[in-house]
Amino acid sequence: MMAVEPGTVLVVDDHEMNRDLLTRYLKREGRLVATAENGRQALAMLIMRPFDVVLLDLMMPEMTGFEVLARMRDDPDLRHIPVVVVSALEDTESIVRSIELGAEDYLTKPINPVLLKARVGASLDKKRLRDNEQAQFHQVSTEKERADELLELIIPLGVALSAEKDFDRLLEMILLDAKTLSNADGGTLYLRTDDDQLRFEIMRNDTLGIALGGATRKKIAFAPLSMYQPDTGEPNHHNVAAHAALTAESVNIADAYEVEGFDFSGARAFDKANNYRSKSFLTIPLKNHSGYVIGILQLINAKDREDGRVISFDKALQKMVESLSALATVALEAYIRERQLKQQIQELKIVIDETKKQSQVAEITESEYFQSLREKVQVLRGKAR
């Protein structure tokens, strides 16, 4: 139960005059105040709505303040609400018993407004601090649980990527696995060419039903993205994919239409033509072991898993996608190296075959038999003339 500014106080006292007096004091300090006539009513109100502080009288009919404290102490949802006892009882035994039952502080009647302000303010500060600690602990616990779940997903994906032998299928798996992990509506995978272009390899968009490249064998008509300006040779930091390739850093954008520094005119034109709205973007460089960017993975429009609305890409989830991208890059680079090696072997084989062919031709043409045939051909040519 998070603290509600400027602080909500429940005043519990069986005497109306006391309730009114405390209410006036508290409202003068800007507090939000509710009142209860007895302990049973107070417990019912505490269960129904959150309060930040309780001012509790001890001597009440039906249920005493001591009983209320005991009930609150035993209830996990109520035990953290600070209680300031306000009572005419001044004996040490009542004070000690109240503190033992969980009371935060103790004030005696008649109430001193200055002391009331100080005690309520201190109780509110402690309550807010506890609430913040609990919220942070809950957040850390939730993120750890989600990270453990995602790691259980990422490891099998990494194994599957490493085992894939079809290049187009491998590229497709990288994008589709990242889409699934982040619950993105769409995505694009680019590969870097030798002349520093980012070539479209895979495109997917669930809403628009787009499936190009990869195992579909459907060509992507878009021209490659230049990492450097063709006219000036300057780095192309205006395009988010080129920027990620140049800097080797991920870029997480909440809304492409509102972000500054990047040119999303192409996305706007695409959206207008397809009645779409490109909003959140997560662009991740695929870096090899030496930090060289061999490609770009770009995800579009993360969706809330419950209601389907487009949301920003979660920072913690971004780390998981980056981990998956790192695994994918290892598999991708290994495949590229294997393909390059096969190409080099094939080229070397051609060279060897050509050299062998030339050697065999030389052996034949330099033989005595071939020389005698050549002489006979020359004689026949002379007679023919």
Q: In this predicted model, what pLDDT tens digit does every residue of 10-31 receive, in sequence order?
A: 999 999 999 999 999 999 988 9
Residues 266 and 321 in one domain: yes
Residues 200 and 286 in one domain: yes
Confidence tier at 72 by pLDDT (50, 70, 90): very high
**Res. 61: pLDDT tops 80:** yes
pLDDT number for residue 4: 45
In a domain, 150, yes or no: no
pLDDT number for residue 317: 83
Amino acid symbol at 131: D
Check which CATH number belongs to the domain holding 44 and give it: 3.40.50.2300
Confidence tier at 323 by pLDDT (50, 70, 90): confident
Confidence tier at 169 by pLDDT (50, 70, 90): confident
**Domain boundary pick from 135, 151, 176:** 135
Residues 59 and 199 in one domain: no
In a domain, 109, yes or no: yes
Question: Of 193, 175, 173, 192, whose CA–CA distance to 184 is shortest?
Answer: 175
Nearest-angstrom CA–CA distance, 366 and 369:
8
pLDDT number for residue 151: 57
The radius of gyration of the chain from alpha carbons, rounded to an integer in Å, stands at 38
Check which CATH number belongs to the domain holding 209 and give it: 3.30.450.40
Confidence tier at 361 by pLDDT (50, 70, 90): low
In a domain, 260, yes or no: yes
Residues 108 and 28 in one domain: yes
Residues 32 and 126 in one domain: yes
Domain residue limits at 115: 8-135
Residues 223 and 264 in one domain: yes
Averaged pLDDT for residues 43-67? 91
Residues 190 and 295 in one domain: yes
Residues 202 and 295 in one domain: yes
Q: Are strands 32-36 and 8-12 parallel, antiparallel or unpaired?
A: parallel
In a domain, 295, yes or no: yes
Structurally, how many domains does the chain consist of? 2
Instruction: Give residue-wise pLDDT tens across range 84-126.
Output: 999 888 788 888 999 899 898 898 888 888 998 998 988 888 8
Averaged pLDDT for residues 203-231? 91
In a domain, 293, yes or no: yes
In a domain, 379, yes or no: no
Residues 37 and 115 in one domain: yes
**Res. 270: pLDDT tops 60:** yes
- Tell me what the pLDDT averaged over the chain comes to: 84
C-beta separation of 274 from 208 below 8 A: yes
In a domain, 342, yes or no: no
C-beta separation of 9 from 120 below 8 A: yes
Q: Rounded to the nearest 10 degrees, what angle do helices 113-163 and 315-365 cross at?
A: 20
In a domain, 269, yes or no: yes
Instruction: Give residue-wise pLDDT tens across range 240-259.
Output: 999 999 999 999 999 999 99
Residues 216 and 306 in one domain: yes
Residues 77 and 199 in one domain: no
Phi, psi for 347 (deg, rounded to 5):
-65, -40
Residues in contact with 34: Cβ distance below 8 Å, sequence separation at least 6, in sequence order: 8, 9, 10, 11, 45, 51
Residues 59 and 176 in one domain: no
